[in-house]
Structure 1
Amino acid sequence: MTNLESGQRTSPFLSYCWDDLDMAYMLEALLAAKGVELIWDKRCLKLDDSISQFMSLGCDCSEVILLVSNSYLKSKSCMKEVLEVLNGSEPLQRIRPLILPSAQIFSPEGRAGYVQYWAGEYEHLQKEIRKIGRGAAAGSLNQDLVLLNQIYENADHFLSMLADRYSPTELLEFVEHFCAGRQQQGCISRPSYPLTAPGGISLRS
């Protein structure tokens, strides 16, 4: 059973972009068949729960699966989750990336494109804040500006780290590698909830 109250959670946390929701459901189903229950928003968030507090759970999980796509690398929310993990303990030992084909991280030009993207996002918001005055934007807008700057400053390090690691790019291969590692650690258990994909299709009996 997923334990959201304990200090360091043994169920893996899934960080993904909503554009890749179908892939996330497929990953969940394949892992569930192997006895692995995910901590992710579609199963754990309830009405009125804080999204930002939930996103910080990755810091406490022993493993964090990153479903890395082009959309993921251009999502402020996803990159905020990445920063949470990178600022936690032993991030290299806890991150389990699944690199989707759309993620252009294996060439210097591709990685530079993402760094440029976040530089542009920072500059754009900075200009918008200047239009309304810093006093009026002293709250959440300035916090967003700080976050964009942090993403920009850490983007190259994060992308280079992903590109340097051996990570399966096929879903089935990733699941096999991931579950083999967890079996060695004795972390396999049966999911505690019925699994359904979009449209109410049951993923297990």
Structure 2
Amino acid sequence: MNSYSNTDLNNNKPSIFISYSWNDSEKVDDIEEAFKKVGINITRDVNDLKYKDNLPSFMKSVREHDYCLLFISDAYLKSKNCLTELIEFSKENDFNERLLPIFDNVDIFDPESRIQYIEYWDNYSKKLQAQLNSTNPLKSSNEIDDAKQIEYISLSISDFLQLLTDTKLVSFKKCKNSNFKAIFEYLDIDKDHIKAQILEIDSLNDLDEKEAEIEKLYIKFPDNDLILYYKAYLESINRDNPKKAQILWKDYLERNPEDVLALGYLSFVYKNLKQPNEAVKTLSKALEIEPDNYVLHKNMGSLLFLVTRDFAFQKDYEKAIYHLEKAGIGNPDDHDTFYKLGEVYLQGLLAFDNALECYERSIMLKPDQLMPYIHSIAILTQKKRFKDAEEMIEKAKSYFPNNEKILTSEATFLIESKKDVSKGIDLFYEITEEFPKSFMTYIQLSKYLVELQNDYDSAISLLRRAKKIVDEKKYIDMYLQNLIKQK
């Protein structure tokens, strides 16, 4: 098998390739997470297709997997790449039995709807052919190959739709609500349907109830790796007893030493136990197993940043940047990677220009996230790029129209830019009224009252008021006493 093969090192876990349209990425995230919870990694382009990898080779690798999970939507049925993956898989003799189809908001059971897709591909094929008729075939060989592929899809789409309508399908909504029970029962990985039982336990809302039920299952099947995995997973997210989570993960990894997901969770547990060396060493082992896994690089970069900042570990932010940049190359559309990279540049290296570039990239990829705006506005204001700061504030307000942090950034901008100092002071007062527990607002406002108006009395009164409504009394009291001495 080539590098895209996803056969798990545990023999009882199938390899699964997911074929889907990027328009459905968020829903596919839910599917991937459900499979992860039962210890199965899905081969997916955003995880397994690396920078400069060959896309056709990746698509052909679908044949080397035990199953192909299809996320069938309107976008899927109009995607050349998706249907090419399906065509590749259909070359297997038993491909019907190895398909795991899920449909979402698409009516393939109505003949009129099916005809629309047949016409879509027929028109697409005819359009390409008409364009090629006016070109020199010696100069358009690649385009001719594409046209042949489109023509093949056009000829095959009717049979594919008929295959689906003849099959008992399940909707994404029903799958998600049942924690994908139907799929795991079909896979029949464990005779006792342990995966289905774990998914039922996972659907419970009460964490204590989950732990009690998984303990019962563990007593019944003490040698089952999947139960041990989920038991350790629950302890990891609970955080009340990280030492117990550590013991469980180490037990699991003795049986499955190259499970990178388990190594990732154990690294997370070590961080909670304030053992940074063990956390980094454990995640490094995962990277030795999968050196091109961009998710692992992202986690390593985030981990190195946190342990360097919180534990003075090695005092080397450059390594964090290295791993996060590698993650960004592996998945250039992941907004969170660029946000975390901005955090390292800002908090670790005080490299404001680099941080700003990362925050702006993160905003471009996902404009409805708060913190990149906050940091960007602060940097632009500090660097006196007031026009850019004002534009960023307006953009942020379009997504967060009455957000405390955005309003505070705006008030600071109005004062620092001297655009309207009085309005800035008034806005700070409005924030203290609307968000009375925002103790940093009181401190900022008191600072400006002293600096701009020499008004010690109002600043002291403001801080005394803050002491009555927030928990951070020691911090405020220290600042208050300092103001009284200055006065």
User: Identity of paired residues, percent?
Assistant: 21
Matched residue SS, 1:55:
helix
Deviations 1:6-60 (A, max 9, x none): 8999311000001111111111011211222101111111111011100111111
8 Å contact from structure 1 (residues 98, 174) kept in 2:
no
Residue from 114, 127, 132 that aligns with 1:129: 132
* 2:90 matched residue in structure 1: 86
CA distance in structure 2 between the aligned counterparts of 1:7 and 1:184, rounded to whole angstroms: 14
8 Å contact from structure 1 (residues 13, 39) kept in 2:
yes
8 Å contact from structure 2 (residues 20, 70) kept in 1:
yes
2:151 maps to a residue whose letter is: N
* 1:11 matched residue in structure 2: 15
Matched residue SS, 1:135:
helix
1:164 maps to a residue whose letter is: D
TM-score (norm 1): 0.85
* 1:182 matched residue in structure 2: 187
Deviation for aligned residue 1:199: 4.8
Residue from 31, 35, 38 that aligns with 1:34: 38
Deviation for aligned residue 1:167: 1.4
* 2:58 matched residue in structure 1: 54
Classify 1:48/1:176 alpha carbon distance in 2 versus 1 (closer, same or farther; 3 Å).
same
Deviation for aligned residue 1:184: 3.4
CA distance in structure 1 between the aligned counterparts of 2:89 and 2:131, rounded to whole angstroms: 29
8 Å contact from structure 1 (residues 34, 179) kept in 2:
no
TM-score (norm 2): 0.37
* 1:162 matched residue in structure 2: 164
Task: Decide which structure has greater helix share.
Answer: 2
Classify 1:6/1:110 alpha carbon distance in 2 versus 1 (closer, same or farther; 3 Å).
closer
* 1:73 matched residue in structure 2: 77
Find out whether 1:97 has 2:101 as its counterpart: yes
8 Å contact from structure 2 (residues 5, 43) kept in 1:
no
Deviation for aligned residue 1:200: 4.0
1:147 maps to a residue whose letter is: Q
Deviations 1:133-160 (A, max 9, x none): 32322x2111011101110111011001
* 1:45 matched residue in structure 2: 49
Classify 1:36/1:127 alpha carbon distance in 2 versus 1 (closer, same or farther; 3 Å).
same
8 Å contact from structure 2 (residues 121, 150) kept in 1:
yes
Residue from 26, 33, 36 that aligns with 1:22: 26
Classify 1:34/1:10 alpha carbon distance in 2 versus 1 (closer, same or farther; 3 Å).
closer
Deviation for aligned residue 1:181: 2.8
8 Å contact from structure 2 (residues 17, 65) kept in 1:
yes
Structure 1 spans left out of the alignment, 5+ residues? none
Matched residue SS, 2:260:
coil
Classify 1:18/1:7 alpha carbon distance in 2 versus 1 (closer, same or farther; 3 Å).
closer
Classify 1:155/1:97 alpha carbon distance in 2 versus 1 (closer, same or farther; 3 Å).
same
Matched residue SS, 2:138:
coil
Structure 2 spans left out of the alignment, 5+ residues? 196-225, 230-258, 265-294, 300-333, 338-487
Matched residue SS, 1:166:
coil
Deviation for aligned residue 1:177: 1.2
CA distance in structure 1 between the aligned counterparts of 2:179 and 2:58, rounded to whole angstroms: 25
CA distance in structure 2 between the aligned counterparts of 1:69 and 1:174, rounded to whole angstroms: 20
8 Å contact from structure 2 (residues 6, 42) kept in 1:
no
8 Å contact from structure 2 (residues 80, 150) kept in 1:
yes
CA distance in structure 2 between the aligned counterparts of 1:50 and 1:174, rounded to whole angstroms: 34
- Alignment size in residue pairs: 196
